[in-house]
Structure 1
Amino acid sequence: MSMFHPHNDPELRRLYQVTQESEAMGDPDASEFDTGRAEHPQESLDHIEVEALDDADNRDLDEEGSGPPESIDDATNQPISVAVSDNGLQAYAIIRVNRRVANSTIKKALEENGIIYGIDEGAITELCSDEGPRGFPTIVAKGDKQGAGTNAVMHLYFERAPKPTITYDEQGQADYKESGVIQQVRKGALLAKKTPAERGKSGTTVTGEKTSGRMGRDLKIVAGAGTKFEDSEGLRLIAQRGGVVSLHKGNEISVSDEYIIEGDVDFSTGNIKFDGAVVVRGNVLSGFKIVATGDIEIKGVVEDAEIHCGGNLQIRGGFIGKGKGIARVCGETHIRFLENQNVICNNDVYVAEEIVFSNVTCGGELMVKFGKGTIIGGVANARRGIQMKVAGNLHHQKTSLISGQNKSLTERYRLAVDPAPALVIMKDRIQTALDSLVKRKYSDNEELTKEESEAMDYLYKQMAGIDGWAEEIGKIREKMDHEITKLEANAYIRIEQRVYEGVTVTIGNRPRVIDKETGRSEFRLADGEIDNIVTKK
């Protein structure tokens, strides 16, 4: 008994084809690897899973070599022949004689051909029976298929494309300005986790040979700017800083401390709240708000909007509106022009062209030195000084220029009043209470209660500390008075070209109304009065 190739026999070629088709249709595992992707349970986590794509190596493992082999010794004249499929997972036997054949005969043929694994005793018994098939192949042994591996999966802990959300106020009204499209993360936040690829189960051929399972396709998470791996295997990616998280091509994840808006701040973006710097390449429309802990740069125009900036503010297009907008800035402020708006800044303010009917308060200097360089209307209050080209206009528009004021310091100085009068009254009251207790205890020989004795000790201590309090308060007032005097002495209001009638200049708490149009001027405080040191020269 020898091995044969059934395709060399024209009579059996069609029977083999029918057998293969029947086998594929009847195999319950035939679709297990149809997609080349192993099934795996999904984790119940609030994240997105990105699975590695399959390649050619993860095809259906039964696609090749699942049928009888293409080349087997021509043995059509043999009563019993045995064949093994090319992939080694199936063994076939053909009986060509029309009589019963002993099971041992088939088993011996299998053994002689090295077929020792997955032998199907039932199939052999049926084949050898009187009613068994004759003249075409029957599967008498099956091996174990090697398994396809599980592909690697990337779990994202942020939205790949966040969608706007609608919030509602206490009255149930929708607030479309609070859309929340910025996806921010804190330092140390988990951004992505990788489940590694796994190898499939091993297989065994009908000749007993072990075959390794296929390895699932791997993927790599790339740590972009502002991120790092928490482990050495590159399985857990965390934020190295706070900011906005983004997923890029090639599974690169980054966290930026700068949030860039390519267009306008409007209903498409909603209000902006960001822990870092913000860049707006368009305009900021009326009614919207930007809050950022870092710098804010706006390429276009800001209308009646709110700007809260923890760093430096730059508005390249200008700040305009109907007086309903406000900019609060911790650092410096740079604006092209101001019209009907409000600015409060801790440091210097630079306006490139003009300030019209606006209110500006800053803790440093206010510079309006380029372009028209005018301040018309409103109030400009700069602690250290103001520089401009022109103040007011021909229509005598009321314009207030103030320098040398520190409202917080002035208020503290006012509250720290001279303690002398109050302390005299306090000392008299303490002394009266002490005299009464002393008289009762020593002159009238009365025994004081425990509470009265404790009160007498407390009053003695208070009397001893009054003079110390007065001295301490006096030092505080003296220090604040020195700071106020120094601030007023260094404050200035400098107008390089012209100051019109209707302008009021104030240094410290001393105002001066300009009642006559004047050319180049610089106002400073001298001997308690405001002098124009240019005209005085």
Structure 2
Amino acid sequence: MTTEQIARKDKNCLLKFTKDDVLLKLRLDNNPDLVEIEEFLEKNSIMEADYDIIKNKLEEEDEGWFKIAPNLDLPVEDDKVSLKVTKDKLQALLTFVPGRDGKQLQLADVKDLLAAENITYGINQEKIKQILKHRNPVENSIVAEGKAAEPGQNAYLIYHFEEKKKQAGTLREDGTMDFHSLDLINNVRKGEKIVTKVDPVSGKPGIDVYGNEITPPQPKDVKLPRAKNTVHKENDLYAVKDGQIVRERDKIVIKPVYQIRGDVDLSTGNIDFVGSVKIGGNVREGFEIKAAGDVEINGNVGAARIEATGNVLIKKGFLGRSKGEISAEGDVNARFVENANIKANNVRVHEAIMHSKVTAKDSVIVTGGKGLIVGGRIIAQNLVEANLIGSSLATKTFIEIGLEPELKKRYTDLKSELTNLENNLDKVEKSIDLLKSIQQSGKKLPANKEEMFFKLKKTKLELKNNQVELTREFEQLKEALTASEKAVIKVNESIFPGVQLLSSKDKMIIRNKISQAAFSEINKELRQTTI
């Protein structure tokens, strides 16, 4: 027997042989069993083991080495080694069992075994050397390792908008909550990028312990979503219309009209939309609608605020309570208007306008049904027409026709600006002509004159551009002013005392009831004419 340590092991214990003794070490993590230890020792020809010591060590849960028997002359055994490869072929695992006084394996023996198994890549010779040197039992130690394939990246989509989620309200700067502003609409503008596709990226191949290439999995591709009112440009999706962007399963839809089936209230919040808006119910007090298009409301409008770049249609009434406002670049139509403020191009009301301020660039007409205007102030550049104006109670009612005072002032200011601009332009052109004549005479302009010449030409261009813009505005106002000189107030049935009529240059107070009459400015005076 040599003095080298020779070991055996099973799940219950480890054996170590010295020159004089047999040592045992319990594998407490595996809950060793005394009967199984006895069987293991018999298999290894340990016939004189002290089982009382083993039993005591089990009870004490001793993890150290302890003597169980003297070392007798045991049979000679050679070193044993075996290999196995993992299912993914990325690791070769070695199990080594040292022998007793028999043949000891060398590095070349293990290399021959690896070659016989066709294992050629990632062999860790240094680790094999250490296992053979220390001669301790080893189980499934990694002695060769391949390189796994690096997966690529699947294609994916980037959405340049977030789906709005219902919320209780928005936080104001002062820390209070605005329960009317829920910010539920995803607005998108024409030409805006809404989705981008990022292409897939291929992975990198690997190699197994047999030296074979491992192909990485093919990355998955993805298509840009199907979409209405959009256009594809390479890997991007763009909106071709203003509207509300909505995700419907695997589709994207841009809706140019925002529809609410019921009321505008705390469940919907204020509406701010880049297209037209349709409301199936009413607009409750305190709410706002802003639309870059038309607004159509099937019900009533309370003390709310509506702003539209197109027309506003209210199929029932507008009950403003002195707080409700409508501002439209197009026309406003309603069944009746009470205690409200309206600004529009034309205003058409079926039943009545009561105690309201209505301003129209063109006309205000109340002729359907009762066709009443009473209380408040009505202002129109060209026409105010109603069946009845005022009431038998002499309710103060103001009707004003002709160009608005601020527009008339702008017209006068523009006329003066254009005159000054023409004078300045004339001076600049004369200075330019003078410098040109010096050049044409063959003389070279001094440096300061050259700089002046350049600045004068630049100034002339700026003045000309300004002149074009101001002239365009001036002509538009002139046309409106000319049209307003023919402005008229038409009364199809009766106008009552308490009504005051105003034009650009005159006013008239109605002192007696008048039937079926028209009023217009003639020679700077408001006069009554026949319809």
The residue that corresponds to 1:385 in the other structure is 383
Q: Is the 8 A contact 1:488 1:507 kept in 2?
A: no
Stretches of structure 2 lacking an aligned partner (at least 5 in a row): 1-9, 11-79, 416-473
Distance 1:513 1:143, change over 3 A: same
Distance 1:377 1:87, change over 3 A: same
Q: Is the 8 A contact 1:302 1:319 kept in 2?
A: yes
Structure 2 Cα separation of the partners of residues 205 and 245 of structure 1: 50
Structure 2 Cα separation of the partners of residues 206 and 279 of structure 1: 69
Aligned AA for 1:331?
Answer: G
Q: Tell me by how many angstroms 1:322 deviates.
A: 2.0
The residue that corresponds to 2:249 in the other structure is 249
Structure 2 Cα separation of the partners of residues 480 and 152 of structure 1: 59
Alignment pair present for 1:104 and 2:108: yes
Alignment pair present for 1:357 and 2:375: no
Structure 1 Cα separation of the partners of residues 115 and 502 of structure 2: 114
Alignment pair present for 1:165 and 2:170: yes
Structure 2 Cα separation of the partners of residues 244 and 88 of structure 1: 54
Q: Tell me by how many angstroms 1:355 deviates.
A: 1.6
Structure 2 Cα separation of the partners of residues 384 and 143 of structure 1: 90
Structure 1 Cα separation of the partners of residues 255 and 495 of structure 2: 48
Structure 2 Cα separation of the partners of residues 358 and 351 of structure 1: 12
Aligned partner of residue 123 in structure 2, secondary structure: coil
Structure 1 Cα separation of the partners of residues 155 and 378 of structure 2: 63
The residue that corresponds to 2:206 in the other structure is 203
Aligned AA for 2:171?
Answer: I
The residue that corresponds to 2:294 in the other structure is 295
Structure 2 Cα separation of the partners of residues 482 and 270 of structure 1: 42
Aligned partner of residue 363 in structure 1, secondary structure: strand
Q: Is the 8 A contact 2:314 2:335 kept in 1?
A: yes
Q: Tell me by how many angstroms 1:341 deviates.
A: 0.9
Aligned AA for 1:121?
Answer: Q
Structure in which a larger fraction of residues adopt strand: 2
Q: Deviations over 1:347-384 (max 9, x none)?
A: 21111332222222212222323333322333333332
Aligned AA for 1:374?
Answer: L
Residues 64-463 of structure 1: pairs in structure 2 closer than 5 A: 84-91=85-92, 99=102, 100-121=104-125, 124-125=128-129, 131=135, 140-161=143-164, 164-168=169-173, 184=187, 191-222=194-225, 224-225=227-228, 232=234, 234=235, 236-237=236-237, 245-250=245-250, 258-260=257-259, 264-266=263-265, 271-345=270-344, 347-404=345-402, 406-408=404-406, 410-411=408-409
Structure 1 Cα separation of the partners of residues 410 and 209 of structure 2: 96
The residue that corresponds to 2:51 in the other structure is none
Q: Is the 8 A contact 1:505 1:514 kept in 2?
A: no
The residue that corresponds to 2:4 in the other structure is none
Q: Deviations over 1:121-156 (max 9, x none)?
A: 35655776895659x876653322223333445444
Q: Tell me by how many angstroms 1:205 deviates.
A: 1.8
Q: Tell me by how many angstroms 1:209 deviates.
A: 0.7
Q: Tell me by how many angstroms 1:323 deviates.
A: 1.4
Structure 2 Cα separation of the partners of residues 254 and 215 of structure 1: 32
Distance 1:372 1:104, change over 3 A: same
Q: Tell me by how many angstroms 1:338 deviates.
A: 0.3
Structure 2 Cα separation of the partners of residues 412 and 390 of structure 1: 34
Distance 1:97 1:379, change over 3 A: closer
Aligned partner of residue 114 in structure 2, secondary structure: helix
Q: Which has the larger radius of gyration?
A: 2
Distance 1:141 1:307, change over 3 A: same
Q: Scaled by the length of structure 2, what TM-score is found?
A: 0.58
Structure 1 Cα separation of the partners of residues 412 and 146 of structure 2: 97
Between Structure 1 and Structure 2, how many residues are aligned? Answer: 387
Q: Tell me by how many angstroms 1:385 deviates.
A: 2.1
Q: Scaled by the length of structure 1, what TM-score is found?
A: 0.57
Residues 501-512 of structure 1: pairs in structure 2 closer than 5 A: 502-503=498-499, 509-511=506-508
Which of the pair has the greater relative contact order for Cα pairs under 8 Å at 6+ separation? Answer: 1
Supply the RMSD in Å over aligned alpha carbons. Answer: 4.6
Aligned AA for 2:213?
Answer: K
